[in-house]
Structure formats: C-alpha cells, structure tokens
C-alpha cells in the first residue's frame, strides 16, 4: 500500500507541474497578443473631402489626403529648405517626435543625408516606422540629363529603399526625359508617387499631361495668402492632382507680411491661435497640402497644432480675399 500512496503522490506532483507549465505558457501567449495589439496603429487617416470640413483627426492621427497614385499623403509636413545636414537631422527628429509624418527635402537643399539621419534616429527610438512617414525629394535641374542616377543618389543619401514622392524641381529644357525617368522609378519600386514643382499655369500642366503615362499626383508651388492660384487648383482637380504649398508664410525675410496681416491677426485672436496656425489651417482646410519650414522646435510644435479648430466659411472667405496673385519668387 505505501507503494500505491507514493505513486498517487507522484501522479499529483506531475499533474500540478503540468498545470503550472500550461498556465505559464498561456500567460506568455496572452502577453504576446497583448503586445501585438499594443503596437502603434498606422498614422494614416484618409480624408475624402477636405473643403470646408472641420479637419479633426482621431487622437494621435495625422490627416491625410488620398493621392491619385493610391497612396495617402499627410496634409501638413516639415519643410527643410536652408537647413544643413545637422539642422535637418535635428528638426526632422523633433518633427517626427511631435507628430509630423511628412518631410519635404530636395537634392538641391544638400540635406538629404541629414533628413535620412533624423528619420533613422526616430525609427531607432521607436517613434515611427518607415511606412508611417511620407518623404518627398526633388530632382534638381543640374541633374536633368541623368535623372535615373539622381533618383538613386537621393535614395542613397536618405538611406531609403523607396521615396514616397519625387518631384521635378522646376520646368527645364528636358522635363519629358526627367518625367519618364521618374515613371521608370515607379515601375522599379523606387518611387511611390511622382509630381512636378513650379508649374503654375494650365498650359504648363497640359504639356506634362500630354506625355505623362502616370498622371502627376502632386504639384508643389509657391502658395500663400497673397498668391493663392485657385484657378490651377480648380483645373487640376479633375485629374485628382493635389496642390502642395511652399512658402506658406512667404519665405524667409517675408514672414512679417503674413504674420502681421490685419485679417490674419484678427482671426488668430478670435480663435486664440497664432497667425502661423491660422494660415496653415486655412491651407489645409482649403484642400492644400502645406510644408512650413522651420528649424525652431517651438515653431515646429506650433505649426502642427492646427487640427483642433476650424475656420468658419466667412473667415475662409476673408482670407481668400487677401489674394493679390503676388509671388515672392520667379522660378
Ligand atoms: N519646390 C520649390 O521650389 C520650393 C521652394 C521653396 C521652398 N520649398 C519647400 O517649402 C518649404 C517651406 O518654405 P520655406 O521654408 O522656404 O518658407 P516658409 O515656410 O514660408 O517660412 C519659413 C520661415 O518662417 C519661419 N517660421 C516657421 N514657423 C514659424 C512660426 N510658427 N512662427 C514664426 N516664424 C515661423 C521660419 O523660421 P524658423 O526656422 O525660425 O522657425 C522661417 O524663417 C521649404 O522648407 C521647402 O521644403 C520648395
């Protein structure tokens, strides 16, 4: 009998070990699935109609517009013109940390390495994943005779496998070949969307459309309260082309013109917002994408805080009336 008792004890011991192991495995599995559901969700929220709509993204999400290429593009991002590699790395990191998911650079700016470094650091720190961020660069006129090589050079400096958007920086003598090189870049998976920059008239856009096999997704142009060019925006709507604004504040040396404009100041005071925020809010609410440039962390944070208020139809109209079709640059 003592032998039977011993066997019973052994059996009980074995059973309890099995139960405990099972519990441990179950807990681990539960933790794993918990971790899985804790992973950050995509930052993409598609907005179908931007005009006049109060753009209020769900918490922690960035508003995006659907491009004709099928990809979503954040409606507000960071511009990096005049920033060297060191400044660009820092401002890109600060921007991503503060919710930006669109970064604008160009081969011409000479800071693609810095932009790539800032992005790499943000990925390493778990702030973003590559697929959450929309990176734009541009092929500069000096490279128009070998655009394919320019695409590879941008990718290399940015340390990327693909660019979300590549633009022809400005019209040139051989735009067609440059555009075709970008189309080839799309075929090869190096570029997701392509577009043009500094094309201001229907005629200029029609010329590109006459040879484009892939319709441009974006036209990036000078655009601000004094140069609104709504005629172009209305014309390209039929092609699903989005207008992206450079110089939203008029550019360095000119920002006072915009920030001290009486109408802008009045509207800003009415909302408890800054003139910069009212201008950016007007642009995204009017259906534009905008890329304010800044290397100042406080401004970077300020410029993205435009999704918690809306301008009334009357305020939108008052800002529309500021248009003088006046550009600061002529390229
Ligand atoms: N495709 C093209 O041909 C083209 C041409 C020009 C520009 N771009 C792109 O468009 C982006 C925007 O243009 P941009 O940077 O030249 O001009 P911008 O955005 O109109 O103005 C930049 C200026 O505004 C200041 N600023 C930014 N936020 C501010 C705020 N909240 N309060 C006060 N001042 C503020 C900046 O100074 P701080 O640095 O001190 O903030 C800087 O002096 C460029 O960075 C570039 O990515 C494209």
**Which residues have CB under 8 Å from 242's CB, separation 6+?**
65, 67, 73, 217, 218, 219, 287, 288, 289
Nearest CA to 215 out of 234, 196, 228 is that of: 196
Whether 78 is covered by a domain: the verdict is yes
Atom index in ligand 1 nearest the CA of residue 255 equals 24
- pLDDT at residue 9 in the model: 57
Whether 249 is covered by a domain: the verdict is yes
Whether 199 is covered by a domain: the verdict is yes
Whether 220 is covered by a domain: the verdict is yes
- pLDDT at residue 62 in the model: 74
Considering the candidates 93, 100, 108, 109, report the single residue annotated as catalytic: 109
Residue 238 half-sphere exposure, CB side, CA atoms within 13 Å? 8
Q: What average pLDDT does this structure show over 78-82?
A: 98
Nearest CA to 63 out of 274, 239, 288 is that of: 288
Nearest CA owner, ligand 1 atom 45? 79
Task: Respond yes or no: is residue 288 known to be catalytic.
Answer: no
pTM: 0.86
d(CA 283, CA 64): 13
Q: Residue 268 sits in which domain range?
A: 43-320
For a pLDDT cut of 70, what percent of the chain falls above it?
A: 82
Nearest CA owner, ligand 1 atom 9? 246
Q: Of 255, 258, 273, which is best to mutate to test ligand 1, by the most ligand atoms within 8 angstroms of its C-beta? A: 255
* CATH number reported for the structural domain that contains residue 117 in this entry: 3.20.20.100
Whether 22 is covered by a domain: the verdict is no
The confidence band for 155, taking pLDDT boundaries of 50, 70 and 90, is very high
Indicate whether 29 pLDDT > 70.
no
Q: Decide which of 289 and 17 is more confident.
A: 289
Q: pLDDT by residue (tens digit) across 240-257?
A: 999 999 999 999 999 999
Nearest CA owner, ligand 1 atom 48? 246
Cα 328 to averaged position of ligand 1 atoms, centre (Å): 13
Q: How many domains are there within the chain?
A: 1
d(CA 123, CA 323): 40
Whether 38 is covered by a domain: the verdict is no
Q: Decide which of 51 and 5 is more confident.
A: 5
Residue 312 has φ and ψ, to the nearest 5°, of -75, 165
Cα 82 to averaged position of ligand 1 atoms, centre (Å): 9
Indicate whether 14 pLDDT > 80.
no
Q: pLDDT by residue (tens digit) across 194-240?
A: 999 999 999 999 999 999 999 999 999 999 999 999 999 999 999 99
Whether 6 is covered by a domain: the verdict is no
Whether 54 is covered by a domain: the verdict is yes
Give residue 269's Cα distance to chain centre: 28
Element (H, E) at 63: strand 62-66
């Amino acid at each position: 009998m003592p032998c039977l008792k011993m066997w019973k004890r052994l059996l009980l011991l074995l059973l309890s070990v099995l139960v405990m192991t099972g519990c441990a495995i179950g807990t681990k599995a539960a933790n794993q699935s918990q971790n899985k559901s804790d992973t950050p969700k995509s930052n993409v929220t598609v907005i179908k109609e931007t005009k006049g709509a109060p753009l209020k993204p769900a918490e922690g999400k960035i508003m995006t517009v659907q491009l004709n290429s099928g990809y979503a593009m954040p409606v507000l991002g960071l511009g990096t013109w005049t920033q060297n590699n060191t400044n660009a790395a820092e401002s890109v990191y600060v921007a991503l940390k503060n919710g930006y998911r669109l970064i604008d650079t160009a081969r011409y700016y000479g800071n693609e390495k810095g932009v790539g470094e800032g992005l790499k650091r943000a990925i390493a720190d778990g702030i973003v994943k590559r697929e959450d961020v929309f990176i734009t660069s541009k092929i500069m006129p000096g490279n128009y005779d070998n655009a394919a090589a320019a695409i590879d050079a941008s990718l290399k400096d940015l340390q990327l496998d693909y660019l979300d958007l590549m633009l022809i920086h400005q019209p040139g003598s051989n735009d067609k070949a440059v555009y075709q090189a970008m189309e080839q870049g799309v075929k090869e998976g190096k570029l997701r969307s392509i577009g043009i920059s500094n094309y201001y008239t229907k005629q200029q856009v029609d010329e590109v459309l006459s040879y484009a096999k892939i319709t441009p997704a974006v036209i990036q142009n000078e655009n601000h309260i004094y140069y609104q060019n709504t005629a172009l925006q209305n014309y390209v709507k039929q092609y699903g082309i989005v207008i992206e604004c450079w110089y939203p504040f008029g550019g360095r040396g000119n920002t006072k013109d915009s920030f001290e404009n009486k109408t802008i100041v009045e509207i800003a005071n009415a909302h408890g917002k800054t003139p910069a925020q009212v201008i950016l809010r007007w642009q995204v609410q009017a259906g534009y994408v905008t890329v304010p440039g800044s290397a100042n962390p406080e401004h970077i944070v300020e410029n993205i805080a435009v999704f918690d208020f809306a301008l009334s139809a009357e305020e939108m109209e008052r800002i529309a009336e500021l248009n003088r079709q006046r550009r600061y640059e002529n390229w």
